[in-house]
C-alpha cells in the first residue's frame, strides 16, 4: 500500500490525468442517465470537482492529500490558461461580423452587466476588497473568467472557489431556463442566438440551452459565447478591476 | 506535425502573458492584466490569417484542438483543488449572484436584438 502511494506521489500529474478522466466519465454517465442530458456534463464534472475539493483537508482542496498533489499542477494557472487560450480556435472575426453591431454590443454588455451586478451584490453581502469583488463579478460572467481573473489579481482560493461556483450555477441556470423562455425572448433565429450567446457568455450553458431549444442555433450562440468569454478574460482583470479599485 | 500547433499556441500564450504583465506594470497594479484575453485575440487573428493563406494544415490544427478539448478536464482539476470548505460559508452569495446577474442578462436580450434591426 505504501508502495502504491509512493508511486502515485512521484507521478502526480499522470495520476491526475487518470483521476480527472474518471471524474469526466462518471459525470457524462450521470448526465446521460440521471439528468437525461438536460444539464451540461461540463457543469456536472466541475461540481463534482468542487465536491471532491471539500474532502481535502486544507486550502488546496484534494491536492492537500499527497497522492493527489498532481491535481494542483493539472489545474494550476499555467495549464489552465494555456488550454483556455486554445478554445479561441472555435472563434473567427469574419464570422463575428455576421452578428453585426448588436452582436458586438452583446459581447461587451454581457460581460459588463454580469460583472457589475455580481460585484454589487457581493458588496452588499459583505465583501469589501477590490480583489474579491472583481473575482466574484468575473465569476458572474463564466466559471472560466472567474478563476482567470482571481489568479490575475491575486484573490484568495476561497473567493476563487465562490467564483467557480457562481459560474457553474449560471451555466446550469442558463441551460434549464433557455428552452422555457426561448419564445418570450424570440430566440428562434441565428441573429438572436448570437446575441443570446454574447449576453450570457457561458459557452457550456449556451450550447446546452440552445441544443434543448433548437439544435440548429448551437453554433451561432457558441461562437459569440466563446468571444464573450475571451472578452471577459481581457476586461475583468484589467479595465473592470481598475474601475472597481477607484470605487473601493 | 502536431507540435507546430502546440508551438503556435505557446507563442500566443507567452506573448499574451507578456502584454498582460506589461499593462500590469504600466497601471501599477499587481498581477497580469488580461493576458489570457490578449492571447485569445492573437490566436483568433493568427488562425484567420493562416487560414486565408491556407498555411494551417489539419495536423497542425490538431495540436491546438487537443488542448481546447482538455480545457474542461483542466477546469475540473482546478475546481478540485480550491478551498471549498471556506467558500461554503459564502454559498448564498454564489446562488444569489448567479441567478440575479444571469436573469438581468436574459431580460436584455430582446432589446439588444431590436437595436440591430432598427439600424438595418
pLDDT tens for each residue of B45-60 = 999 899 888 888 899 9
Nearest chain A CA: its distance from B67 CA (Å): 5
Rg of chain A taking only CA atoms, in angstroms: 19
The number of C-alpha atoms within 13 Å of B22 and in the hemisphere containing its C-beta is 7
Q: Which residue of B has its CA nearest to A185?
A: B110
Q: What is the pTM of this model?
A: 0.85
> Is the pLDDT reported for residue B65 higher than 50?
yes
Nearest chain A CA: its distance from B76 CA (Å): 5
Best CA proximity match to A200, nearest among A230, A169, A221: A221
Chain A CB contacts of B16 below 8 Å: 85
pLDDT digits (tens, 9 = 90+) for B1-38: 899 999 999 999 999 999 988 988 887 766 777 888 89
Does A161 contact chain B (CB < 8 Å)? yes
Does A139 contact chain B (CB < 8 Å)? yes
Cβ-defined contact of B9 to A158 (cutoff 8 Å) = no
Terminal alpha carbon distance of chain B: 45
- Minimal Cβ distance to A186: which of B92, B94, B110: B110
Q: Which residue of B has its CA nearest to A90?
A: B44
If phi over 0 gives left and psi between -120 and 50 gives alpha, with beta otherwise, what is residue B110? Answer: alpha
Judge whether A224 and A103 are in contact, CB under 8 Å: yes
Bridge partners for A58 per DSSP: A61
Chain B CB contacts of A28 below 8 Å: none
Q: H helices then E strands: how many in chain A?
A: 14, 0
Kindly report which listed range (A18-32, A83-97, A158-172) carries the lowest average pLDDT score.
A83-97
Average pLDDT for A60-87: 90
Euclidean distance between CA atoms A226 and A203, whole angstroms: 6
Complex ipTM, two decimals?
Answer: 0.89
Euclidean distance between CA atoms B27 and B19, whole angstroms: 12
Cβ-defined contact of A62 to B80 (cutoff 8 Å) = yes
Euclidean distance between CA atoms A221 and A104, whole angstroms: 13
Amino acid at each position: 500500500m505504501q508502495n502504491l502511494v509512493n508511486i502515485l506521489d512521484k507521478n502526480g500529474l499522470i495520476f491526475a490525468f487518470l483521476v480527472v478522466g474518471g471524474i469526466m466519465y462518471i459525470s457524462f454517465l450521470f448526465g446521460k442517465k440521471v439528468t437525461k442530458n438536460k444539464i451540461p456534463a461540463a457543469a456536472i464534472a466541475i461540481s463534482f470537482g468542487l465536491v471532491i475539493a471539500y474532502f481535502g483537508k486544507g486550502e488546496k482542496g484534494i491536492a492537500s492529500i499527497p497522492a493527489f498533489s498532481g491535481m494542483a499542477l493539472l489545474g494550476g494557472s499555467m495549464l489552465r490558461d494555456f488550454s483556455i487560450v486554445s478554445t479561441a480556435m472555435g472563434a473567427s472575426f469574419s464570422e463575428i461580423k455576421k452578428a453585426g453591431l448588436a452582436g458586438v454590443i452583446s459581447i461587451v454588455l454581457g460581460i459588463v452587466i454580469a460583472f457589475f451586478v455580481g460585484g454589487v451584490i457581493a458588496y452588499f453581502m459583505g465583501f469589501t476588497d477590490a480583489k474579491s469583488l472583481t473575482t466574484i463579478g468575473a465569476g458572474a460572467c463564466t466559471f472560466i473568467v472567474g478563476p482567470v481573473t482571481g489568479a490575475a489579481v491575486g484573490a484568495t482560493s476561497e473567493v476563487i472557489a465562490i467564483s467557480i461556483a457562481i459560474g457553474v450555477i449560471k451555466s446550469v441556470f442558463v441551460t434549464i431556463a433557455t428552452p422555457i423562455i426561448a419564445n418570450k425572448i424570440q430566440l428562434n433565429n441565428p441573429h438572436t442566438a448570437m446575441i443570446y450567446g454574447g449576453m450570457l457568455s457561458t459557452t457550456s450553458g449556451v450550447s446546452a440551452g440552445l441544443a434543448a431549444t433548437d439544435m440548429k442555433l448551437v453554433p451561432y450562440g457558441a461562437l459569440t459565447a466563446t468571444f464573450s468569454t475571451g472578452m471577459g478574460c481581457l476586461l475583468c482583470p484589467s479595465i473592470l478591476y481598475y474601475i472597481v479599485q477607484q470605487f473601493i | 506535425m502536431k507540435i507546430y500547433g502546440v508551438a503556435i499556441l505557446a507563442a500566443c500564450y507567452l506573448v499574451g502573458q507578456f502584454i498582460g504583465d506589461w499593462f500590469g506594470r504600466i497601471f501599477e497594479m499587481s498581477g497580469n492584466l488580461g493576458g489570457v484575453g490578449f492571447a485569445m485575440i492573437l490566436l483568433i487573428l493568427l488562425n484567420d490569417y493562416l487560414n486565408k493563406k491556407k498555411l494551417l494544415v489539419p495536423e497542425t490544427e490538431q495540436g491546438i484542438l487537443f488542448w481546447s478539448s482538455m480545457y474542461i478536464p483542466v477546469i475540473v482539476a482546478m475546481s478540485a483543488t480550491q478551498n471549498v470548505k471556506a467558500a461554503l460559508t459564502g454559498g448564498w452569495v454564489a446562488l444569489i449572484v448567479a441567478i440575479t446577474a444571469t436573469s438581468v442578462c436574459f431580460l436584455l436580450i430582446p432589446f439588444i436584438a431590436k437595436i440591430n434591426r432598427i439600424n438595418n
